Amino acid sequence: MRLYNTLARKKQDFAPLNGNKVNMYVCGITAYDLCHIGHARSSVVFDVLYRYLKHTGYDVTFIRNFTDIDDKIINRANEVGKTAEEIAEKFINEFYVDMDRLGVNRATVEPKCTEHIPEMLKLTETLIEKGHAYATPSGDVYFRVRTFKDYGKLSGRNIDELESGARIDPGEEKEDPLDFALWKAAKPGEPSWESPWGQGRPGWHLECSAMSEKYSTLPLDIHGGGQDLAFPHHENEIAQSEAATDKEFSRFWVHNGFVQINSEKMSKSLGNFFTIRDILAQFLPETLRYFLLTMHYRSPLDFSFDALEEAEKGIKRVYAALAQIDQELGKSSWKKSPFPEDIVAELDEIEKHWNEAMEDDMNTAAALGHMFSAIRLAGRVFEDKNLRKAEGGRDLMERIRKDMAAWGDVLGVFRRDPAEFLLELRDNRAARRGIEPTKVDELIQGRQQARKDKDFDRADQLRDEIANLGVEVKDTPQGPVWDVA
């Protein structure tokens, strides 16, 4: 597998350092609010990477932390009259609700910052002993950035350029404007812990270094997160970890791209800020997950509700095809007759290309395209009466169904019972357009009864009433089936 390594600024062949074991650390949420579309993208991206590594046979230890003490958490707690611990616990639980709906798996280890204060204190003491950090009279501890000669190697920042825009704020006791906080002295009313420098709490960057080293041997095989974390967070993690341990911190750095809203940066001030809950109030969770996979993870993703509508059409097309495959496989009319080798060879190529797409920096957009190719191949067989009845056709369909299940397990999509999903999708689309499914069912039943009674005027009247709702009805051997037009 080749992964784009931010540190090297290119794709590189990935293989774990220790045989079959992969250690992957991904920065989790700061638990002070509901998760937004950006959190959804990052979580789904690394969930797929986790799934794919396991799919290919690796033994993966996936570490994803929770920041449960931070200025934002403290400010939110003060706003609503609760403790920081209560706020963090609430939004960690809300995170799980959202991620469970999106089909994001739990990580192997999910540590919280506040449960690892001793590890952070030890790391800070090591940095002070080595001359890479210093304590101030007021009890803050800072990392000396200039003592780490490789500072900027991840983000490509130059220390001289950083210095030109840096300053020391009033009241700070830094030696250098570039230095960053490892430990913050306690302020009145804030949560704090005892330390050699007095009561205080850890800096944001410190926690990930301490927890990475606790749950994994260094170097990590993969460290991941959103593109916005590359600087300063991940840059500072590298500096403090490598300065303390004299070891490489992580071999691969993987970052997902930003989410834009209608081509603009998402911002509460612009009024284009969407939580996962906002989106799932209108669309099914699998539609959102599928949409997030339709663009390569490193590319910017432009979110809009129109784009979700298009994604919904795509996911519906796949599930409808899977339903047809299941229906055909349930029949016993397959006959032993020749089956074109070129069609089997075409499926061989599709399977090969799907694997190549995932091996090439986890290109989920291309992988989805190959899944559609498999579905189109099944459609061509269905359209040919001779092929449709051939015994080789059954073998091909079973193989496509097996492929779709395996690929769907990796991507986290197309795993539902097709008939059940299509019904839920129909009702979801109806709800968005103000159509009441039970009313449609009643109208269709009334029309059926009118036709049975040969009351054709009434049947036509009900047909028009159904059409005016924006509903299409198809008469099938199993009875009438309706969908949103």
- 356 plus 254 within the same structural domain: no
pLDDT at 337: 67
Any domain includes 203: yes
Task: Answer with the one of 225, 252, 276 that is the final residue of a domain.
Answer: 276
291 domain-assigned: no
Asked, for residue 67, whether it belongs to a domain, the answer is yes
State which residues form the domain around 407.
310-414
Residue 295 has a pLDDT of 97
Kindly tell me the burial class for residue 172, based on how many C-beta atoms sit within 10 Å of its own C-beta (0-12, 13-18, 19 or more): middle
Query: Domain ends where: 414, 448, 471?
Result: 414
Same domain for 123 and 168, yes or no, is yes
Number of domains in the chain: 3
Are 226 and 255 spatial neighbours (Cβ–Cβ below 8 Å)? yes
Residues 404 and 439 in one domain: no
Please check whether residue 22 is in contact with residue 60, taking contact to mean a CB–CB distance below 8 angstroms. Answer: yes
Does a structural domain hold residue 426? no
Q: How far apart are alpha carbons 215 and 395 in whole angstroms?
A: 46
C-alpha dihedral sign at 86, 208, 2, 261: positive
**Of 414, 444, 467, which residue constitutes the final position of a domain?**
414
326 contact partners, CB below 8 Å, separation of at least 6:
401, 418, 419
Phi-psi region at 434: left, alpha or beta (left = phi > 0; alpha = psi -120 to 50): left
The pLDDT value recorded for residue 485 is 86
At residue 394, φ and ψ (nearest 5 deg) are -60, -45
The reply to whether 315 and 380 lie within a common domain is yes
CB 425 within 8 A of CB 437: no
User: What is the per-residue pLDDT for 291?
Assistant: 98
CATH of the domain at 233: 3.40.50.620
Residue 288 lies in a domain: no
Phi, psi of 120 (to 5 degrees): -70, -35
The pLDDT of residue 336: 67
Identity of the amino acid at 89 = E
Determine how β-strand 141-143 pairs with β-strand 180-185.
antiparallel
The answer to whether residues 36 and 167 belong to one domain is yes
In a shared domain, residues 141 and 77: yes
Beta-bridge partners for 12: 3
H or E element: which one contains 462? helix 456-468
* Residue 294, in any domain of the structure: no
Residue 77 belongs to some domain of the structure? yes
In a structure prediction context, what are the per-residue pLDDT tens digits for the chain, which is 485 residues long?
999 999 999 999 999 999 999 999 999 999 999 999 999 999 999 999 999 999 999 999 999 999 999 999 999 999 999 999 999 999 999 999 999 999 999 999 999 999 999 999 999 999 999 999 999 999 999 999 999 999 999 999 988 888 766 777 767 799 999 999 999 999 998 999 999 999 999 999 999 999 999 999 999 999 999 999 999 999 999 999 999 999 999 999 999 999 998 888 877 777 788 999 999 999 999 999 999 999 999 999 999 999 999 999 999 999 999 999 998 888 766 666 678 889 999 999 999 999 999 999 999 999 999 999 999 999 998 888 777 777 778 889 999 999 999 999 999 999 999 999 999 999 999 999 999 999 999 999 999 999 999 999 999 999 999 999 999 999 888 789 999 98
**pLDDT recorded at residue 298:** 98
The answer to whether residue 59 sits within a structural domain is yes
- State how far the Cα of 350 lies from the Cα of 352, in Å rounded to an integer: 5
Are 467 and 406 members of one domain?
A: no
Residue with tokens 């036509």: 460
- Residue 153 and residue 216 in one domain: yes
If asked whether residues 228 and 353 sit together in one domain, one would say: no
Same domain? 81 vs 156: yes
Residues 366 and 460 in one domain: no
> What is the pTM (predicted TM-score) of this model?
0.94
Residues 359 and 323 grouped into a single domain? yes
Beta strands in 353-478 (DSSP E): 471-476
Q: Supply the CATH number for residue 351's domain.
A: 1.20.120.640
